[in-house]
Structure 1
Amino acid sequence: MTVQELNRRYIPAGQLDAESRGAFLAKTYLTLFGAIVAFTVLETVLFVSGLGYELAARLISVNWLLVLGIFMVLSWMARRVAAGQSLAGQYAGLGLYILAYSVIFTPMLAVASLSSPSVLMSAAVVTLVGFAALTAIVFVTRKDFSALRGFLAFGGILALILIVLSVFTGIELGPIFSVGMIALAGASILHDTSRILNDYPADRYVSAALELFASVALLFWYVLRLFMRR
């Protein structure tokens, strides 16, 4: 590898030439597509085998704050590993992230598959269309959405507080909460896509795909939650 090629790996995507930027973006979105397919296949295997329902029953019987706590630790570990320079490490972090999401999704997917299976496809379609539209906004306008970082931090903390209060008090977080979280997920997609276009180094496409996968999963979770209440 030449010095020029080595330096290009650490240059933010926004400063790369058109060909290199295009290659970086292609790798990022192909990796994201692979992550979504892997998540879908894993969930399908779990539920076809019956393990998904058993896992869902176990998670429902456990304190949900404990489940969320373990999930947050695993997510933090996955992000740390995926942010490294090693490509194998980045893929390992993404794999851990997909596994963690596959587990935490089982209770909601179990309920949806038993009560209203058609809702799953509707929620998936709305999620993908929403993601595509938000991505197009960033690519077409080239606007910098980094200013959303403060909103995302505040919204994330507020959502966590409301979830904790809901667990302790038994107060149900209704459709308004789901709509708010959908808005938060949408803002996250705008922010992450903007960062990927402008700030991510060329060798961090797996880490970039992980960030997008997390935002897509969050959007799908609350779109599905909202549809299940109809």
Structure 2
Amino acid sequence: MELEAQVTGHHTYGRSREKFIAKTFNHLGGAIVAFTALEMLFFATGLSESIANAIFQLPWLAIIGAFMLISWLASRTAHTVESKALQYAALATFILAEAIIFVPLLYIADSYAPGVITNAAVITLVATVALIAIAYTSRKDFSFLGTVLKWGGLLALILVVSGLVFGFQLGMFFSVAMVAFAGGAILYDASNIIHHYDEERYVGAALELFASVALMFWYVLRILTASRD
């Protein structure tokens, strides 16, 4: 009887974890759809040009700082508050912030390299699905990537800020390295979703994974746009 109870408990835990994983990936899909809808709205209404011009006139360092603050607040809210409404509000705020900060890059890509946005989106989605599939089918715990990503992210931030302050371009190699970094982040996030996240934190888990997917999309788009010059 005790063995039967343990087996039943294991199966129950497995089913609950699978439900959590499905919810998280469904929320990731919803976040991607919402982001896409916002960008389509910005471009269809002409808001994209106004947003792009406004951002071009502001110091990029200040924009990055504001975006990082919003990202931190949204992530913290989604991972700590008990209210589901506030968790969803945090996710929605983060999606909106991502949509706004992407406008200048999308505007340039649409103007000078037609077609690359779709290509970048397809490449990013295929890579994301492949990395999630690796994490899900192998069931390997990739949490060891956390330290690498932490220090790699810090180095990338230092390079970006230094480039803005001292006026040098980071170039194609940096963009390629950041695509690899984003791929590692997607694998790390997917692994945490499968193995470690609290099963009630599917909104926060989806936010983290969406942030990594958006990062990959940003640098894939930069590479494709630059290659058209």
- Give the alignment of 1:51-200 within 5 angstroms: 51-83=47-79, 84-200=81-197
Name the structure 1 match of 2:5: none
Match of residue 25, structure 1, among 17, 21, 25: 21
8 A Cα contact 1:79 1:93, kept in partner: yes
Could you tell me how far 1:18 is from its partner in structure 2? 2.4
The one-letter amino acid of 1:189's match is I
Name the structure 2 match of 1:50: 46
**What TM-score do you get using the length of structure 2 for normalisation?**
0.92
- What CA distance in whole angstroms lies between the structure 2 residues aligned with 1:117 and 1:33? 25
Q: 1:161 to 1:17 in 2, by over 3 A?
A: same
- What CA distance in whole angstroms lies between the structure 1 residues aligned with 2:199 and 2:182? 25
The count of residues paired between Structure 1 and Structure 2 equals 217
- What CA distance in whole angstroms lies between the structure 2 residues aligned with 1:203 and 1:22? 13
- What CA distance in whole angstroms lies between the structure 1 residues aligned with 2:26 and 2:134? 19
- What CA distance in whole angstroms lies between the structure 2 residues aligned with 1:63 and 1:199? 39
- What CA distance in whole angstroms lies between the structure 2 residues aligned with 1:15 and 1:99? 39
**What TM-score do you get using the length of structure 1 for normalisation?**
0.92
Structure number with the bigger relative contact order (C-alpha 8 A, sep ≥ 6) is: 1
Superposition misfits of 4+ residues, deviation over 6 angstroms: none
Bigger drift between 22-31 and 212-221 goes to 22-31
Name the structure 2 match of 1:41: 37
Unpaired runs of 5+ residues, structure 2, are 1-9
- What CA distance in whole angstroms lies between the structure 2 residues aligned with 1:150 and 1:18? 28
Bigger drift between 121-130 and 79-88 goes to 79-88
